[in-house]
Amino acid sequence: MRAVLQRVQSAEVRVDGVQIGAVDKGYLILICAMANDTETVAEKLAAKVAKLRIFKDDQGKMNLSVRDIGGSALVVSQFTLAADLRGNRPGFSTAAPPERGEQLYLHFAACLQAEGVPVATGRFGADMAVSLVNDGPVTIWMDTDTP
């Protein structure tokens, strides 16, 4: 799976002008299931995200997790993270097929919730408007295929 984590002061997602998910302090997570991903991959990524210490402590050092700060996560599917940019027009053949991608996206969100992080989501396959107030800014790329 590929994910882009953005530490946020707030974030929201809208579909047809209607807010369907929002969070205050925590994460905006853009996530893409890749063709060979499994439930186990989603579970491990959720556990890693829940424990990742990128929030500031009292000394201003990135030493706290999203759970430590009582934060939450807005999880939004984004198949374009699978973009193959060898040509001028991106290809997305390495992304999981839509039905499987949705299953893994929802499984990741459920696993993150089970890790003690309140989760809001976007709508898989929808044309979404996502807005955020990035905190820092802190943006981290995660790829489960990368050691």
Give the active site residues: 78-80
In a 10 Å sphere around its CB, with 0-12 CB exposed, 13-18 middle and 19+ buried, how is residue 108 labelled?
Answer: buried
Helical residues (DSSP H) of the chain, grouped into ranges: 39-51, 98-114
Does 90 sit behind a cis peptide bond, omega within 30 degrees of 0 on the bond before it?
no
What phi and psi values does residue 125 have, to the nearest 5 degrees? 80, -5
